[in-house]
């Protein structure tokens, strides 16, 4: 531990003995002076800093007055050394005992000052989960009950997993430099979590049911409804005889668990290269902004395109599946009535502690 000592302190004067001490008389005079100095310093030390400063000034290993004096023992005439040594030791022991007592006095003063040691301590801020993490945990919990497990994939991804394996045509606008952050050498920051579909199907033989949460990146402006980096949650189920009915039933069940039993859902047509047919799901929610219930699109979904199954090495005549991708930030905003996505990135404790103060 480094103790920083306030400099203008009477306790902070390290006095090295500069004059050479080579007679018993001079030795004993100096010993006497140190003893008197200790008698001044130690009883006056009322704080830990003072006691420590007194200890350093008197017996400190580098510059303590006693330490310096000990060095001159060797310069005394032989016949005087024994007496000098004995007197020196007696003073050293007494000073160390006085310092010990000063320390003990400090700590007992501290304990007696506390009126009631069983009083609860002052409350302190221990942190909280981010609203998006709360929502992600909850969604994962709902799907876990249905036998889904968590799968993760890299954020720096190969173009092939992000686009090629997902059946994007070579001239798809999403692949434009305008929308995608390329890293060079065939890699990019993944623009969605769908590449985890392919990685999962390559690694595990069906039947599979996975959820893949993670961050994705797009060249977007940072405004009230867009962020250039945001969380996504991918879902994938592949088995024999999976149909659009499985997709609708599962996602509707999820929406009711998340937003409440009576929640209505509807599916509208959409397009993604990696699903066929593709849909978007909307839920009817009241955002609590006084405008009443309205339809909110929360995810894109569809049946896994046979080309994706084949890219992952599966026989698309035997296996089929469904997938979805949603933005947990949007769900968190609808759940908590947050109207500006930037609040989720500001790390303002006053905002964040409203959601999950532990």
Burial 213-245 (b: 16+ CB within 10 A, else e): bbebbbeeeeeeeebeebbbbbbbbbeeebeee
Shortest spacing between CB 327 and ligand PHE, in angstroms: 8
Restricting to residues 23-62, which ones interact with ligand PHE according to CB under 6 A? none
Between the CA of residue 228 and those of 26, 189, 190, 293, 357, what are the distances in Å? 79, 11, 12, 29, 28
Which of 64, 131, 195, 302 contacts ligand PHE by CB under 6 A? 302
Number of H helices, E strands in the chain: 11, 10
Q: Tell me: does residue 194 bind ligand PHE (CB under 6 A).
A: yes
State which residue, 53 or 323, has the beta carbon closest to ligand PHE.
323
State which residue, 192 or 330, has the beta carbon closest to ligand PHE.
192
- CA-atom Rg of the chain in angstroms: 37
Ramachandran area for residue 104 (φ above 0: left; ψ -120 to 50: alpha; else beta)? alpha
Which stretch, 31-39, 141-149, 178-186, 317-325, contacts ligand PHE (CB under 6 A)? Answer: 317-325
Which of 167, 180, 200, 275 contacts ligand PHE by CB under 6 A? 275
Which of 300, 332, 333, 338 contacts ligand PHE by CB under 6 A? 300
Shortest spacing between CB 130 and ligand PHE, in angstroms: 21
State which residue, 208 or 301, has the beta carbon closest to ligand PHE.
301
Rounded Cα distance, 214 and 193, in Å: 7
User: Which token pair is 260?
Assistant: 């409440």
User: CB of 274 within 8 A of CB of 167?
Assistant: yes
Shortest spacing between CB 223 and ligand PHE, in angstroms: 18
Give how far the C-alpha of residue 97 lies from the chain's centroid of Cα atoms, to the nearest Å.
Answer: 47
Alpha helical stretches, state H, 150-204: 159-162, 195-203
Shortest spacing between CB 324 and ligand PHE, in angstroms: 5
Q: Tell me: does residue 233 bind ligand PHE (CB under 6 A).
A: no
Shortest spacing between CB 180 and ligand PHE, in angstroms: 12
Site residue total, ligand PHE (CB under 6 A):
11
Q: Tell me: does residue 332 bind ligand PHE (CB under 6 A).
A: no
Q: Which residues bind ligand PHE (CB under 6 A)?
A: 192, 194, 234, 272, 275, 300-302, 323-325
């Amino acid at each position: 531990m480094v103790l920083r000592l306030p400099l203008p302190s009477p306790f902070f004067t390290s006095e090295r003995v500069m004059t050479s001490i080579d007679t018993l008389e001079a030795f004993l005079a100096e010993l006497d002076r140190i003893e008197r100095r200790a008698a001044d310093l130690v009883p006056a030390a009322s704080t830990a800093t003072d006691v420590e400063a007194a200890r350093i000034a008197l017996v400190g290993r580098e510059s303590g007055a006693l330490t310096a004096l000990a060095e001159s023992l060797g310069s005394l005439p032989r016949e005087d050394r024994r007496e000098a040594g004995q007197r020196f030791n007696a003073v050293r022991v007494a000073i160390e005992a006085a310092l010990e007592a000063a320390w003990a006095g400090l700590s007992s003063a501290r304990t007696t000052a506390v009126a009631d040691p069983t009083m609860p301590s002052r409350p302190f801020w221990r942190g909280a989960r981010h609203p998006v993490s709360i929502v992600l945990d909850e969604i994962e919990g709902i799907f876990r009950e249905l036998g889904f497990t968590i799968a993760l994939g890299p954020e720096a991804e190969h173009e092939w997993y992000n686009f090629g394996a997902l059946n994007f045509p070579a001239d798809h606008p999403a692949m434009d430099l305008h929308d995608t952050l390329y890293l060079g050498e065939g890699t990019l920051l993944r623009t969605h979590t769908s590449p985890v579909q392919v990685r999962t199907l390559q690694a595990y033989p069906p039947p599979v049911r996975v959820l893949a949460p993670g961050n994705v990146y797009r060249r977007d402006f940072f405004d009230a409804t867009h962020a250039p980096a945001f969380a996504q949650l991918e879902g994938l189920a592949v088995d024999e005889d999976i149909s659009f009915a499985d997709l609708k039933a599962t996602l509707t069940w999820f929406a009711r668990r998340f937003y409440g039993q009576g929640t209505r859902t509807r599916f509208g047509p959409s397009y993604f290269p990696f699903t066929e047919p593709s849909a978007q799901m909307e839920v009817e929610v009241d955002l609590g902004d006084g405008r009443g219930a309205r339809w909110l699109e929360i995810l894109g979904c569809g049946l896994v395109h046979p080309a994706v199954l084949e890219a992952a090495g599966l026989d698309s005549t035997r296996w089929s599946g469904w997938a979805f991708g949603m933005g947990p930030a949007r769900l968190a905003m609808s759940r908590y009535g947050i109207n500006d996505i930037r609040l989720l990135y500001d790390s303002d404790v006053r905002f964040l502690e409203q959601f999950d103060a532990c």
